[in-house]
């Protein structure tokens, strides 16, 4: 057992080294031993596995403690889950409708969540009393449950038969760190310092190469069309012009006009930019995060700095907006939630901050997040997806890999679908795991031969509701959903992992914390301790950025 854990630690360390650019001879030697370590680990697992013990399986021996612990987001109900893997046009239409003012929306969301919680507390008693008086109601409830199960079975079957065509976009000469989709364009950022634009219908070649950063590109964001029009008018450009924001380790945020392929504005932030998002509220805001843990807000109208917040102890690795709310995640495991008050000075007001001791996501890794309603889904380089109920600080986790050597690098929500990337350090297998929302029930896993590690993800839909995705990492790939009934064969294999079906969702209190495999330290030497001391001497805040962009 001890040797197994030591091998798992070494493979985690190699997984971290592989995404570096500059490697010492010693580091290259460690990476060269990957195949040998994987072979030895597989041999030990085969020797030690048995009917009562299967090493490397997440939550093995703890399934009797696992329970469903789902708290539905206020905006999503089971009946709203799409019955097939397509986005309904009605959902698209609802997104374009006018929404209340930020403060009103926030109060409405809070009030709705409180009413939901009150209903959840009172519903069991009411149902019990009512059932004694009117037994026929029970059959109605059973009918609804059977209908939900039938819809889920249909959805699951549809994803098991799903077919995708993959197209490789070649042009970057280093790891792709971020991707976004704009109309028929895919925009990618890379450690090679470039931002590239690809036209999806003719994706064999790059559409534009946006060079200007002097450091690796870490993040991208696409402002909505109405905000692009305002800037286009100010610059005397076409109203149809679309803009892209890029952040880089060179401490700059650049605003690019896609049709002309030029940088129209550059913001210097004094720190390496590690995350950013566009907040479409009021006149619009650009919110950036730095490797020093600082969060800053910039006016889209004047491009002046409106606010600087020392929000985290380590690098801010993810920032996402949801209506008037802004969510930030850090390498220290902390998650902050702000309300945008749409003011010229200090527009962000802190609502909640949950530290790494609450989220359990600390350790200096890359924390990415995907918010929806009262829940924030977190990925942090482990075999689980964490779920933070941000109003209360309640944590639960969703098994995303059947092995403790599995890592989750990114998480994304699209329509009624939750998608988590999945990579096994022990054997190099990579896939995307699909779960239905809001119940977080496992649907299927999508993979293909020699699939690379997926570090970033973007999704959109065609006019017919078919999915189109783009994934980045060592390779940049466009996924196009094919008709299930068609004769064309897909490039992706849909498979099922029965172990993920049994490990659905568990409360943090019902399971042990992440085990010793979370440590990258090599037991054969003191390099891990020296690396930590070195990080502390340099300030520690940029450890994640140095790992990814060195």
Give the burial string for 23-41 (b: 16+ CB within 10 Å, else e). Answer: eeeebeebeeebeebbeeb
**Alpha carbons 113 and 106: distance in angstroms, whole number:** 10
Query: 3-state class of 218 per DSSP?
Result: strand
Give the tokens for residue 7: 């091998």
> What does the pLDDT read at residue 204?
61
Nearest to 519 by CA among 508, 509, 531, 511: 531
Q: What is the pLDDT of residues 380-390, one digit of tens each?
A: 988 999 999 99
Q: Classify residue 51 by its DSSP letter.
A: S
**CA angle, 475 then 477 then 478, to 5°:** 170
Average pLDDT over residues 465-487: 90
Q: How far apart are CA 113 and CA 389, in angstroms?
A: 11
What is residue 376's predicted lDDT score, i.e. its pLDDT?
97
* Confidence at residue 268, expressed as pLDDT on a 0 to 100 scale: 96
Helix (H, G, I), strand (E, B) or coil at 183: coil
Please say if the pLDDT value at position 449 is more than 60: yes
Q: How far apart are CA 196 and CA 368, in angstroms?
A: 22
Per mean pLDDT, which range of 25-39, 257-271, 297-311, 506-520 is the poorest?
506-520
Pick from 534, 538, 550, 543: which is nearest to 291 by CA? 543
Q: What is the rounded distance in angstroms from the CA atom of residue 56 to the CA atom of residue 58?
A: 6
Structure tokens at 85: 């893997």
The pTM (predicted TM-score) of the whole model is: 0.76
- Read off φ and ψ for residue 332, nearest 5 degrees: -80, 0
Would you say residue 435 has pLDDT above 80? yes
For 352-420, give the secondary structure using H, E and C: EEECHHHHCCCCCCCCEEEEECCEEEEECCCCEEEEEECCCCEEEEEECCCECCEECCCEEEECCEEEE
Q: What is the CA radius of gyration of the chain?
A: 23
Residues linked to residue 481 through DSSP beta bridges, in sequence order: 164
pLDDT of residue 1: 65
Residues 75-95: pLDDT tens digits? 333 333 343 444 444 444 444
pLDDT in tens, 112-155: 444 444 443 333 333 333 333 444 555 567 888 889 899 999 99
Share of the chain above pLDDT 70, in %: 72
Which of 416, 387, 447, 437 minimizes the C-alpha distance to 164? 447
Tokens 């003012």 — which residue?
101
Q: Which long-range contacts (CB under 8 A, 24 or more apart) does 232-235 make?
A: 232/257, 235/264
If DSSP codes are grouped into helix, strand and coil, which group holds residue 287?
strand
């Amino acid at each position: 057992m001890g040797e197994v854990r030591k091998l798992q630690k070494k493979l985690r360390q190699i997984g971290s080294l592989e995404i570096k650019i500059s490697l010492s001879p010693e580091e290259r030697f460690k990476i060269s031993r990957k195949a040998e370590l994987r072979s030895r680990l597989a041999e030990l697992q085969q020797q030690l596995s048995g009917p009562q013990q299967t090493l490397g399986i997440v939550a093995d021996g703890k399934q009797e403690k696992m329970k469903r612990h789902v708290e539905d987001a206020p905006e999503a109900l089971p009946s709203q889950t799409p019955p097939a893997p397509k986005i309904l046009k009605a959902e698209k239409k609802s997104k374009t409708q006018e929404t209340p003012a930020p403060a009103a929306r926030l109060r409405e969301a809070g009030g709705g969540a409180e009413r939901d919680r009150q209903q959840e507390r009172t519903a069991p008693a009411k149902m019990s009393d009512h059932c004694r008086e009117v037994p026929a109601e029970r059959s109605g409830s059973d009918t609804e449950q059977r209908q939900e199960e039938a819809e889920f079975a249909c959805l699951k079957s549809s994803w098991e038969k799903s077919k995708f065509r993959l197209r490789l976009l070649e042009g970057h000469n280093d790891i792709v760190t971020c991707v976004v989709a704009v109309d028929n364009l895919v925009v990618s950022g890379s450690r090679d310092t470039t931002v590239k634009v690809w036209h999806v219908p003719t994706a064999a070649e790059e559409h534009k190469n946006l060079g200007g950063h002097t450091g690796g590109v870490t993040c991208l964001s696409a402002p909505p069309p109405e905000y692009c029009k305002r800037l286009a008018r100010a610059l005397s450009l076409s109203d149809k012009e679309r803009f892209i924001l890029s952040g880089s380790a060179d401490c700059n945020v650049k605003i690019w006009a896609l049709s002309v392929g030029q940088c129209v504005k550059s913001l210097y932030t004094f720190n390496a930019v590690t995350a950013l998002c566009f907040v479409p509220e009021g006149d619009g805001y650009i919110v950036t995060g730095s490797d020093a843990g600082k969060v800053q807000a910039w006016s889209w109208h004047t491009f002046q700095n409106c606010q600087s917040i020392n929000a985290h102890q380590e690098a801010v690795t993810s920032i996402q907006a949801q209506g008037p709310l802004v969510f930030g995640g850090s390498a220290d495991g902390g998650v902050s939630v702000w309300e945008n008050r749409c003011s010229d000075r200090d527009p962000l007001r802190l609502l909640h901050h949950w530290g790494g001791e609450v989220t359990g996501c600390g350790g200096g890794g890359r924390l990415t997040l995907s918010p929806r309603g009262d829940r924030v889904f977190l990925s942090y380089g482990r075999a689980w997806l964490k779920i933070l109920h941000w109003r209360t600080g309640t944590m639960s986790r969703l098994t995303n890999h059947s092995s403790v050597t599995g890592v989750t690098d990114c998480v994304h929500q699209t329509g009624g679908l939750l998608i988590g990337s999945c990579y096994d350090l022990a054997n190099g297998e990579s896939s995307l795991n699909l779960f239905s929302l809001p119940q977080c029930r496992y649907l299927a896993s999508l993979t293909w031969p020699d699939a690379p590690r997926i570090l970033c993800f973007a999704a959109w839909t065609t006019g017919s509701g078919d999915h189109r995705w783009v994934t980045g990492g060592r390779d940049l790939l466009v996924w196009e959903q094919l008709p299930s009934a068609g004769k064309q064969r897909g490039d992706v294999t849909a498979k099922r992992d029965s172990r993920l079906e049994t490990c659905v969702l568990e409360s943090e209190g019902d399971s042990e914390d992440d085990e010793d495999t979370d440590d990258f330290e090599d037991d054969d030497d003191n390099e891990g301790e020296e690396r930590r001391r070195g990080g502390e001497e340099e300030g520690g805040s940029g450890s994640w950025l140095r790992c990814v962009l060195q």
